[in-house]
Structure 1
Amino acid sequence: MRAVLFSCLLLLSASGLWAQEKEIEIRQAGSFQLDEENFPGANILERSATKQVHLVHQGMDVWSDKAFFYKKENRFDAFGNVRIMQGDSLVLTSKTVNYDGKINLAVAKEQVVLDNKEMLLETDTLYFDRTKNIAYYPANGTVYDSLTTITSKRGTYISDSKKYTFENKVVVNNPDFTLTSARMDFYTETKHAFFYGATTIIGEDYVVRCREGFYNTVKKEGFFKKNASIDYNNRNILGDSIYFNDTKKYASATQNIRITDTINNSIITGNYGQVFKEKDSAMVTHRAVAINVVELDSLYIHADTLIATGPPEQRIIRGFHDVRIFKEDLSGKTDSIHFNQTSGRAKLIRRPITDRDLQYLTPQEIADRNPILWSDESQMTGDEIHLTIDTEKEVLDSLLIYNNAFVIEQDSLNAANFNQIKGLQLKGKFKGKSLEIVDVIQNTEMVYYIYDDEILELTGIDKAICSALRLEFEDSGIEKITFFTNPDGVVYPPDDLPENTRQLLGFTWREDERIYSKEDLFHGIDLQRFNIKGNLPEIEGVPIKLKR
């Protein structure tokens, strides 16, 4: 019984000590008054000539010129040059403070300044919850240090994590950038910013937009998501996720990216891309497609990897490996491409063939490796093909094929027959969207099927050689052939020319490779391998999946 009683006494004693610890303590005051008529229950404390009123509550010191202390309610109202110190890491000053010791809540008003050693907060009204170590301003606050100033309509400071949460019309001004956001979390020690809602960062030579992101304001690097874009180096970069480092002058993006050249009116899309400002270059891979406007139509170029280099007035686009081209009336394939946007010349280049390859490859196998173009009903191949666009008029201008130029057109009346012309070089001129004239030069050979115009019956097969010839096109087909310099040829009756002599050396019909639409750019390609994850660089301490 005595033991139980002794335990109860200990508990009551401890409870009493705890209650005493919670009470507000008067440390000093210049004078003490009572005015029950006007301030019932208040101890009116005023400063002396040398010392302010000093109140203490659970590790918090409060100095003021005057204070109304309500001991029974464990609260006070402090006025004039109010200064609050909590530990050695937080100082608050204002004209007035209302403090309730029961719930540990201080309300500071007029010329409020909160100093957490890293940054200063200025506002007109601040609520300071000491239990949660949270300070909140409901209207118009400014937070700043020696470099950065942040303003917002509302804000919260969480002392334990040294974090500000800014809401409504957040504006960050820094010598290197200006940031606006709907909402932002800012860590005062690391200077890391996390933002949510419509956000814009404007630097000296870039503009970032997103609806969710992270930015290290010291290292000038960040991740951006949700409608993310960067205007950078005369390019607009869009992507599901974007990484940007202003110090290194570098940006990268993943998934559904779109890089627009704002000077040359061209676009590169893909699922992974990089931009290097110092090198004036951009690289895109994983379902990469370059898009250029030609004749109010789009010219699409797909490659495993697309690289754009050079300043806007001298920009070059290079495509490597399994290059495919599509335009409404023109398509092609090659191993690599070199496109000069200034001159408008696109070079279609085959994969290099070694001397050893030449020893065992047949002319047909070499032709299968050569670049190829389809224009209307014509198939054209050669060791290298140059396609030129008139950049001022934005129309197809001319065509050049170097070495082993070969033109094939399937007979419209008999699919087993093919009109063929080959030579060392080919020069073509476009009119509108189609070839108008083609000159085949040097060591020229031809096989051409001749029909009776009235009964549409095959009457002969013209097989000829000459130094050069000209093809004139009309209605998407060969309309006229003109031979130059002593042509030598024979028109054979169909039955007199064996089937195995009707094809010129190196003949190959590659219709199954032809590209008829934008979708065909990816025909036969495993698109799943283009879905990539985690290719963005990592920022120390910050995951790509942003966490608040």
Structure 2
Amino acid sequence: MLKANKKPNKQQDRHRWLLIGFLCLFGVCLVAQVKPTAQGKKTTNSAAKPADGKAAEANKPKKKPENKKTKVFLLHADEGQANKLSRPDVQVLVGHVKLRHDSMYMYCDSALIFEKTNSVEAFSNVRMEQGDTLFIYGDYLYYDGMTQIAQLRENVKMINRNTTLLTDSLNYDRLYDIGYYFEGGTLMDEENVLTSDWGEYSPATKQSVFNHDVKLVNPKFVLTSDTLKYNTFSKIANILGPSNIVSDNNHIYSELGFYNTLTEQAELLERSVLTNEGKKMTGDSLYYDRKIGYGEAFDNVVMTDTVNKNLLTGDYCFYNELTDSAFATKRAVAIDYSQGDSLFLHGDTLQLVSYNLNTDSLYRIMKAYHKVRMYRTDVQGVCDSLVYISKDSCMTMYRDPILWNEGQQLLGEEIKIYMNDSTINWAHIINQALTVEMKDTLHYNQVSGKEMKAYFENGDMRRVEVIGNVLIAFYPEERDSAMVGFNSGEGSLMHIYIKDRKMERAKLIGKSNGTMYPMDQIPADKLRLPTFAWFDYVRPLDKDDIFNWRGKKEGEGLKPTTDRRPKTDKRNLINMK
């Protein structure tokens, strides 16, 4: 019976193996038929083009890195368990667990491997290692081998060479090589510490992005922002939202630009502002080097000194905070608003230089050149160049200077104006001095001399002292302002008294002579002094008119008896060469 039973068993085994082989062959053929069909559908969909080719290109999704769907391998565990009945696709691992997915190694105290989803849950002392450059730590990990996304929670630390990221919630996408947090985090390198509510970091590009309550702390400054990009290799912060950079010496505000935290150089746009010890510089764009205290502003520049209550404007401005010097050009204007009524001064170039810094004898020199024009409601002036020295509060006007105060015109080869709390105290007109007051288009009060000293009170000219070679052509008035005659005279010294911005009386001192003519008997050759000139056509009309240069008519300029332009130090010329 035993021999009879063996043959049927062999035949049954042979039939069973034939059946299994046939089923396997059938399965292979079925897969071979289905796979090309699926690929064919994919090809058909990708080949279908919308009517608008540009729209199709714009809507084209970002190319995702190739996802090689490899298995998560178990390399080691002290213990392993599996319940094929209740959880047939789950492995329970305990003790010194070590896993691998492609080039990423994972370590933990215990783990669950889900075979169907190719995913892992890891618990306690979680560590992920990729090569010798990327290490991630945490208390918990969920890793999806299909999407290659790791979700780490609690006490998470990502280390990439010199960069460390700390957070309690980190998602790391291996395909894009980006880790991002969303419940607050800190990123640190050798130079800076950055914190924010939301952030991401790429170990490959070293680029990081931060949003909401961003704070970058550097030993020399603190940067706060709403949106910021930062590269841990170049140490450059890319400002993308309202940001403030504060140090011991200055404050920068910008909404767009770059700041190199290593070299401390900044390139800023969108009306950025640089503030330093009461001085504020604003421009459409700014360049700033903190180490050498050098700043440049371009287009619609405004530089404000809140301490001295003045400002500088133009389309280009340079400022050195270490030497407290500034330079402006291209529609440059200096504005003094310390007295309420602002003084506007324009020149092709404006320059401010400070001397004896950090001493009790600190003083500043401001230079304006060329085609200088200034305007204030009570005083206007023009000249070729101008120098103001704060040491003696003196402003000197060079080369055909003219000064107007209401109806009074003062001119000479050189005019020195001495200030008192930003108001005119007195003015010194040197060589070919002339003062003219217009009565009407025909009659003018005129006084000329070698030099004049004009004294002001509350911004109004009250008294003029004329010294040397005095000539007068003057119309005395009755109380009703009616002219009673014409006084022509000469002498060596004269005092003129002005009331209500009009010549009230004139007095020749010492040896003099003069003649009083009735109004209908004035000699024609006496109506005008030899040096008479009325330059109303060059006078600035308002603060906007200071940009419109109008020179004197040909032949009406003074002929200087002495070269009184600022002297140039020959040593400076040698240095410049």
TM-score bin, normalised by smaller chain: 0.7 to 0.9
- Matches of 1:172 and 1:516, distance apart in 2: 51
Cross-structure match for 1:212: 256
Question: Residue 296 of structure 1: SS of its match in structure 2?
Answer: coil
- Matches of 1:136 and 1:21, distance apart in 2: 23
- Letter of the 2:453 partner, please give it: K
- Letter of the 1:441 partner, please give it: I
- Letter of the 1:466 partner, please give it: G
- Letter of the 2:74 partner, please give it: I
Cross-structure match for 1:101: 145
- Letter of the 1:24 partner, please give it: V
Report how far residue 106 of structure 1 moved.
0.6
- Letter of the 2:527 partner, please give it: R
- Letter of the 1:212 partner, please give it: L
Q: How does 1:33-182 map to 2 (within 5 A)?
A: 33-35=81-83, 41-47=89-95, 52-182=96-226
CA contact (8 A) 1:274 1:282 kept: yes
Q: 1:482 aligns with which of 507, 519, 524?
A: 507
- Letter of the 1:371 partner, please give it: P
Tell me whether 1:344 sits opposite 2:393 in the alignment. Answer: yes
- Letter of the 2:334 partner, please give it: A
Cross-structure match for 2:267: 223
Cross-structure match for 2:401: 371
CA contact (8 A) 1:55 1:61 kept: yes
Report how far residue 40 of structure 1 moved.
5.8
CA contact (8 A) 2:69 2:146 kept: no
Q: 2:548 aligns with which of 523, 534, 541?
A: 523
Tell me whether 1:395 sits opposite 2:423 in the alignment. Answer: yes
- Matches of 2:257 and 2:235, distance apart in 1: 14
Q: 2:451 aligns with which of 413, 416, 425?
A: 425
Cross-structure match for 1:235: 279
- Matches of 1:155 and 1:454, distance apart in 2: 82
- Letter of the 2:155 partner, please give it: Q
CA contact (8 A) 1:118 1:189 kept: no
Report how far residue 204 of structure 1 moved.
2.8
- Matches of 2:180 and 2:67, distance apart in 1: 28
CA contact (8 A) 2:351 2:366 kept: yes
- Matches of 1:373 and 1:449, distance apart in 2: 22
Report how far residue 298 of structure 1 moved.
1.0
CA contact (8 A) 1:447 1:503 kept: yes
- Matches of 1:92 and 1:235, distance apart in 2: 47
CA contact (8 A) 1:294 1:395 kept: no
- Matches of 2:439 and 2:321, distance apart in 1: 52
- Letter of the 2:247 partner, please give it: G
Cross-structure match for 2:23: none
- Matches of 1:435 and 1:65, distance apart in 2: 93
Tell me whether 1:271 sits opposite 2:296 in the alignment. Answer: no
- Matches of 2:480 and 2:310, distance apart in 1: 49
TM-score of the two chains, using structure 2 as the length reference: 0.79
Calculate percent identity across the aligned residue pairs.
Answer: 29
CA contact (8 A) 2:488 2:526 kept: no
- Matches of 1:156 and 1:315, distance apart in 2: 50
Question: Residue 89 of structure 2: SS of its match in structure 1?
Answer: coil
CA contact (8 A) 2:265 2:288 kept: yes
Report how far residue 101 of structure 1 moved.
1.1
Tell me whether 1:407 sits opposite 2:432 in the alignment. Answer: no
CA contact (8 A) 1:33 1:44 kept: yes
- Matches of 1:193 and 1:38, distance apart in 2: 54
Report how far residue 233 of structure 1 moved.
5.0
CA contact (8 A) 1:233 1:280 kept: no
- Matches of 1:25 and 1:100, distance apart in 2: 13
Cross-structure match for 2:411: 381
Structure 1 residues 517 and 113: CA distance shift in structure 2, 3 A: same
CA contact (8 A) 2:381 2:540 kept: yes
Structure 1 residues 40 and 432: CA distance shift in structure 2, 3 A: farther
TM-score of the two chains, using structure 1 as the length reference: 0.83
Question: Residue 197 of structure 1: SS of its match in structure 2?
Answer: coil
Report how far residue 334 of structure 1 moved.
1.0
- Matches of 2:387 and 2:287, distance apart in 1: 28
Structure 1 residues 37 and 419: CA distance shift in structure 2, 3 A: farther
Q: Deviations over 1:121-163 (max 9, x none)?
A: 0000101112222211001101112331111111011334221
Cross-structure match for 1:467: 492
- Matches of 1:19 and 1:419, distance apart in 2: 96
Report how far residue 208 of structure 1 moved.
0.7
- Matches of 2:338 and 2:406, distance apart in 1: 17
Question: Residue 74 of structure 2: SS of its match in structure 1?
Answer: strand
Report how far residue 31 of structure 1 moved.
2.0
Aligned residues: 489
Q: 2:73 aligns with which of 9, 25, 35?
A: 25
CA contact (8 A) 1:288 1:305 kept: yes
CA contact (8 A) 1:115 1:121 kept: yes
Question: Residue 511 of structure 2: SS of its match in structure 1?
Answer: coil
Report how far residue 36 of structure 1 moved.
6.2
Q: Which moved more, 1:148-157 or 1:85-94?
A: 85-94
Cross-structure match for 2:370: 321
Larger radius of gyration: 2
- Letter of the 1:388 partner, please give it: Y
- Matches of 2:204 and 2:439, distance apart in 1: 82
Report how far residue 493 of structure 1 moved.
4.9
CA contact (8 A) 2:67 2:175 kept: no
- Matches of 1:94 and 1:199, distance apart in 2: 32
Structure 1 residues 20 and 196: CA distance shift in structure 2, 3 A: closer
Structure 1 residues 515 and 75: CA distance shift in structure 2, 3 A: same
Q: Deviations over 1:257-302 (max 9, x none)?
A: 1112233221111111011123220111111111113532111111
CA RMSD across the alignment: 2.6
Structure 1 residues 404 and 20: CA distance shift in structure 2, 3 A: closer
Question: Residue 181 of structure 1: SS of its match in structure 2?
Answer: strand
Q: Which moved more, 1:293-302 or 1:193-202?
A: 293-302
Q: Which has the higher contact order (CA 8 A, sep 6+)?
A: 1
Q: 1:499 aligns with which of 510, 524, 534?
A: 524
- Matches of 1:36 and 1:468, distance apart in 2: 124
- Matches of 1:129 and 1:40, distance apart in 2: 29
Report how far residue 200 of structure 1 moved.
0.8
Report how far residue 416 of structure 1 moved.
2.2
Q: Which moved more, 1:506-515 or 1:485-494?
A: 485-494
- Letter of the 2:505 partner, please give it: K
CA contact (8 A) 2:209 2:230 kept: yes
Structure 1 residues 453 and 278: CA distance shift in structure 2, 3 A: closer
